[in-house]
C-alpha cells in the first residue's frame, strides 16, 4: 500500500535506536525526508547512514537532548533549515528509570514530567502552526502500555505519560479541522536496549537471570513472544499515512494482545 507520504518531512525524536529508529526506518521506506535526533552522535550517524544506504532517504541528524529547551530549539532549527518545519512529528524520549515510588522525590518526578509529558507538548506547540497552514499534519507520541495498565516499578512513567495522554485527548480534537491528527502509540514489550535495562533491574530485584525473565515475559504474552521493533515502526507509518486521516485522538496499544480488557 502506498501511504501517500512521499516527500513529506518528519522530525523523529530519540531515533538512533529502538522504537524511534524503527519508526524512522518505516517512514524512510515511504520516501519521507527525515530529521532524526539522539544524544549520542556516533550511533545517530550510524543510523542515518543505514537509512540513507538502505532506503535512499534524505536524512539530517541532530545530536542533543530533546528533553531540554536548548535540545528542542536545536532540533527545530535544524529541521527548519534542512527541509522546512515538519509535516510529521514523532515524539519520543528515553523512559524514566524503574524503581520504588518511596525513593522518588521532586527531582525524579520533574525529570519524568519534563521528558515524557512537557517535551512532546512543547514540540506539538511548535510544529502544529505550520501544519495548520498546510492543512495537513501528523503527530504520533510514543507512550507506553503503562498508560492503560500501570507497571508497578515504572511509576514515573505511569504518571508522566498519563498526563500527556490527557492533554492529547483535548488538543487532538482542537486541531482536527485543520487536517492534523494526533495519536499515541503504546508499546507493550519490545526487545530494545530499554527493555534489556528493565530486565536487568528485575534480575537484580528477583535473582532471576536475564534469560529466565525473557522466557517468562514471552510465555506470559498471548502471542508467546516479545514485540519486534519493525512491527512498531510499520504501525507508526500507517498512523502517519493519508489513509489514516480519520484516526485521531486515539491510544493504539501494540502489545500482542497482552492487555486483557475487551476495550
Ligand atoms: P531504547 O532502545 O533505549 O532507545 C532510546 C532511543 O532514544 C535511543 O536512540 C536514545 O539515544 C534516544 N534518547 C534517549 N533519551 C534521549 C533524550 N533525552 N534526547 C534524545 N534522544 C534520547 O528505548 P526504546 O525501547 O526504543 O523506548 C522508547 C520509548 O518507548 C521510551 O520512552 C520507553 O520508555 C518507551 N517504552 C518502551 C517499551 C519497550 O518495550 N521497549 C515499552 C513501553 C514503553 P541516546 O541514548 O544516544 O540519546
Give, rounded to a whole angstrom, the gap between the first and last alpha carbons of the chain: 28
Residue given cell 533549515 in the structure block: 81
> How far apart are alpha carbons 177 and 136 in whole angstroms?
10
Please work out whether the CB of residue 96 comes within 6 Å of at least one atom of ligand 1.
no
Q: What is the pLDDT of residue 159?
A: 97
Please work out whether the CB of residue 46 comes within 6 Å of at least one atom of ligand 1.
no
**pLDDT tens-place string over residues 208-255:** 999 999 999 999 999 999 999 999 999 999 999 999 999 999 999 999
Please work out whether the CB of residue 40 comes within 6 Å of at least one atom of ligand 1.
yes
CA of 196 to the centre of ligand 1 (A): 12
Please work out whether the CB of residue 97 comes within 6 Å of at least one atom of ligand 1.
no
For residue 56 the three cell numbers come to 535512499
> How far apart are alpha carbons 61 and 85 in whole angstroms?
15
Q: Model confidence at 191, in pLDDT bands (50, 70, 90)?
A: very high
| pTM assigned to the model | 0.98
**pLDDT tens-place string over residues 92-109:** 999 998 999 999 999 999
DSSP the chain: ---S-TT-EEEESS-SSHHHHHHHHHHHHTT-EEEEEES-HHHHHHHHHHHHHHH---EEEEES-TTSHHHHHHHHHHHHHHHSS-SEEEE--PPPPP--GGG--HHHHHHHHIIIIIHHHHHHHHHHHHHHHHT-EEEEEE--GGGTS--GGGHHHHHHHHHHHHHHHHHHHHHGGGTEEEEEEEE--B-SHHHHHHHHHHHHHH---HHHHHHHHHHHSTTSSPBPHHHHHHHHHHHTSSTTTT--S-EEEESTT-S----
Q: Model confidence at 149, in pLDDT bands (50, 70, 90)?
A: very high
Amino acid at each position: 500500500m502506498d501511504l501517500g507520504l512521499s516527500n513529506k518531512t518528519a522530525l523523529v525524536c530519540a531515533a538512533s535506536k529502538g522504537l524511534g529508529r524503527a519508526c524512522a526506518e518505516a517512514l524512510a521506506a515511504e520516501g519521507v525526508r527525515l530529521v532524526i535526533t539522539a544524544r549520542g552522535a556516533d550511533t545517530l550517524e550510524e543510523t542515518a547512514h543505514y537509512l540513507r544506504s538502505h532506503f535512499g532517504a534524505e536524512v539530517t541528524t541532530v545530536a542533543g537532548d530533546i528533553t531540554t529547551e536548548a535540545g528542542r530549539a536545536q532540533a527545530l532549527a535544524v529541521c527548519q533549515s534542512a527541509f522546512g518545519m515538519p509535516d510529521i512529528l514523532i515524539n519520543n524520549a528515553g523512559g524514566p528509570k524503574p524503581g520504588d515510588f518511596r525513593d522518588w522525590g521532586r527531582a525524579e518526578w520533574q525529570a519524568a514530567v519534563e521528558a515524557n509529558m512537557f517535551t512532546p507538548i512543547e514540540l506539538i506547540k511548535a510544529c502544529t502552526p505550520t501544519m495548520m497552514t498546510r492543512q495537513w499534519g501528523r503527530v504520533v507520541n510514543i507512550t507506553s502500555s503503562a498508560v492503560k495498565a500501570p507497571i508497578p516499578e515504572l511509576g514515573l512513567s505511569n504518571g508522566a505519560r498519563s498526563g500527556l495522554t490527557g492533554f492529547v485527548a483535548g488538543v487532538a480534537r482542537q486541531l482536527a479541522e485543520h487536517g492534523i491528527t494526533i495519536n499515541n502509540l503504546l508499546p507493550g514489550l519490545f526487545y530494545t536496549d530499554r527493555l534489556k535495562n528493565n530486565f536487568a533491574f528485575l534480575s537484580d530485584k528477583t535473582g532471576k537471570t536475564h534469560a529466565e525473565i525473557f522466557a517468562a515475559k514471552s510465555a506470559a504474552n498471548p502471542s508467546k513472544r516479545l514485540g519486534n521493533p519493525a512491527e512498531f515502526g510499520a504501525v507508526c507509518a500507517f498512523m502517519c499515512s493519508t489513509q489514516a486521516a480519520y484516526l485521531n485522538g486515539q491510544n493504539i496499544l501494540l502489545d500482542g494482545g497482552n492487555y486483557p480488557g475487551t476495550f
